[in-house]
Structure 1
């Protein structure tokens, strides 16, 4: 069991393990090492007993940094392709519904899940929203949490390795070099304004508010030519490492036996969701002439912040990816409560039809 006495100790140890994982992944030339390396190393440490955690303010500052860096990649050329996105969003909506409805059926038939737990477990994303619903409707909260968390981890590790198999060729081990770094006299005010924009979005319960606030302001400035340049590597790389580390902290308090019980259902659901995402990504790439890598990251039902950051690390189109992941979460916010209400009615009818117990 790994432990530490200082209140700051767990956070520093967690970051150190994440940084070591990133360095090792880069040494092995893994794609997106600053996300995949920390996610894997901190997950393993958490399963070994580390109370993995990160300070909230430090995490939020990294979200702002990543958002600003993503916004720097939004070019006028990327915006010109937006006219083709509505069809892509329709295909995304259909794929999300397929993952929920068919995935929940698989969980019920093969693993004996009750209807409500199967529905919420199969929902591809919006974890905090799904968990709040799980509490309200008395679903199996532990199973929902474990399988959703495993899905995010596996997709973070899997997507960078799938892309070369789809014909994209070798992926960059380090973030692609674009514009030169912004001078501090531009970067610091931009970061401050981005943080304020993110806090304002939080008041309206916008998902990933700080990341989107930073990306929005940065994209506006870069698209209009008001500002130019990217976040310096000495700031952006630690921010990406922190995001990878954050995935691993979700396994804090999870024991290997708990993981083992959820692994079968999580594996089935993740493979199914990945195959659906691959199919629709290939279809959209063919129909709209978009790069398969951008389509794959946009359709992969991983964590919003992680997938958006991965679009930059793997040199995909961040505007396209962000639009699709935000749309997916907004769609789930509307669709999942409707499906929950429908499932409640079905379960009530089934309960009423059962013969009374002696």
Structure 2
């Protein structure tokens, strides 16, 4: 990189850090990522020369995959076996949400298939945005729709809880990861990501590093938590990368994505509520507990509501872990299918027909 590119990259990262710190004051789930993306997006739309070079992007992709694998619960498989009926319902619910919202965004709002379906996955925002910035879909529109979903659930779930019958989820604390374990994880993720890239897999660095870290975690060879600073820097960098893609975006694109995000959010909440009501006929659990377990909100916020309302937080936590694991497996399959079988993107319009 030349000096000008280095300076622009450092400026972009500095703007992203300011956004992350600002959003951090509001305790919004994913606030570090969303704050960075939002502020860099505003800077880009105002004409600031924000940029993120490909080399930095690939490093961030490796860090995203590493973070995902490190956060997989080692006892995930045991947790999944405890609530078969509700977990089957969760899997079906995810299929309905992704299929319905993806179809709606593609057919009614004329998004290309990659943008439509990546916008519809309820979770793994950093992973989805890494795939989008690697060339699957339009990252500008995806981030607007995904951020709108997260913000809406964060704001409205506590309000909805007021109408449910009667606090921060406390998972088991983890020791810091040993430096030699972290070094092995980084090296393995980078190598696997490079191999996937050479094999022309979509978003090879993300998928390869995620696969390596997940296998290491589930086989008991990846103990401890990632350094919080590394995780925060990854999210700041990803936010900067996401926001920099807004350079040159038009008002029409923002309007289209916002309308699509609103309709998608309403569909997602409706489907979740209907599934919770249906499952309540087969299991002896409060409807509120079922809704919190099946909802596509963050584990932190849903777990906190579960404690406040006296629900079984183990149930809620297990289902959110299971949801993320299902998405971890499903997203790459859908992305590969989209890359292979999707027709050329249809022309976009501003309003739904």
TM above 0.5, one fold? yes
Partner Cα distance (2:70, 2:135) in 1 = 34
1:129-181 per-residue CA deviation (whole Å, 9 max, x = no partner) reads 899899xxxxxxxxx7764453244345545445545649x668xx9883121
Partner Cα distance (2:101, 2:14) in 1 = 37
Residue in 1 that maps onto 2:192: 197
Partner Cα distance (2:322, 2:206) in 1 = 13
Alpha carbons of structure 1 residues 210 and 44: separation in structure 2 relative to 1, 3 Å: same
Residue in 2 that maps onto 1:250: 245
Residue in 1 that maps onto 2:145: 151
- Note the 1:142-221 alignment, pairs <5 A: 147-148=141-142, 150-155=144-149, 157-165=151-159, 167=161, 178-221=173-216
Asked if the contact 1:11–1:53 (Cα under 8 Å) also holds between the matched residues in 2, the reply is yes
1:80 to 78, 81, 93: 78
Asked if the contact 1:182–1:231 (Cα under 8 Å) also holds between the matched residues in 2, the reply is yes
Asked if the contact 2:133–2:242 (Cα under 8 Å) also holds between the matched residues in 1, the reply is no
Whichever of the two has the greater Rg, that structure is 1
Partner Cα distance (1:74, 1:236) in 2 = 14
Alpha carbons of structure 1 residues 333 and 198: separation in structure 2 relative to 1, 3 Å: closer
Asked if the contact 2:98–2:117 (Cα under 8 Å) also holds between the matched residues in 1, the reply is yes
1:234 to 225, 229, 234: 229
Partner Cα distance (1:205, 1:178) in 2 = 38
2:117 to 124, 137, 140: 124
Do residues 98 (structure 1) and 100 (structure 2) align? yes
Asked if the contact 1:64–1:210 (Cα under 8 Å) also holds between the matched residues in 2, the reply is yes
Residue in 1 that maps onto 2:324: 321
Following superposition, the deviation at residue 270 of structure 1 comes to 0.8
Alpha carbons of structure 1 residues 69 and 246: separation in structure 2 relative to 1, 3 Å: same
Partner Cα distance (1:234, 1:129) in 2 = 24
Asked if the contact 1:14–1:53 (Cα under 8 Å) also holds between the matched residues in 2, the reply is yes
Following superposition, the deviation at residue 65 of structure 1 comes to 2.6
Residue in 2 that maps onto 1:66: 64
Alpha carbons of structure 1 residues 165 and 249: separation in structure 2 relative to 1, 3 Å: farther
Asked if the contact 1:100–1:119 (Cα under 8 Å) also holds between the matched residues in 2, the reply is no
1:224-281 per-residue CA deviation (whole Å, 9 max, x = no partner) reads 3333101111222111211222221120122xxx22x234332221111112222334
**Which stretches in structure 1 are left out of the alignment for 5+ residues?**
108-116, 135-143, 301-309, 345-358
* Larger mean Cα displacement after TM superposition, 39-48 or 59-68: 59-68
- Note the 1:277-296 alignment, pairs <5 A: 277-282=268-273, 283=275, 295-296=294-295
1:31-67 per-residue CA deviation (whole Å, 9 max, x = no partner) reads 3221121111111111111122223222322332333
How many positions carry a matched residue from both structures?
304
Secondary structure in structure 2 of the residue aligned to 1:151: helix
Following superposition, the deviation at residue 82 of structure 1 comes to 4.1
Partner Cα distance (2:75, 2:136) in 1 = 40
TM normalised by structure 1 equals 0.67
Do residues 272 (structure 1) and 263 (structure 2) align? yes
Do residues 224 (structure 1) and 215 (structure 2) align? no
Tell me the C-alpha RMSD between the 2 structures.
Answer: 4.2
**Which stretches in structure 2 are left out of the alignment for 5+ residues?**
119-127, 304-316, 348-353
* Larger mean Cα displacement after TM superposition, 325-334 or 218-227: 325-334
Asked if the contact 1:153–1:247 (Cα under 8 Å) also holds between the matched residues in 2, the reply is no
More helix by share: 1
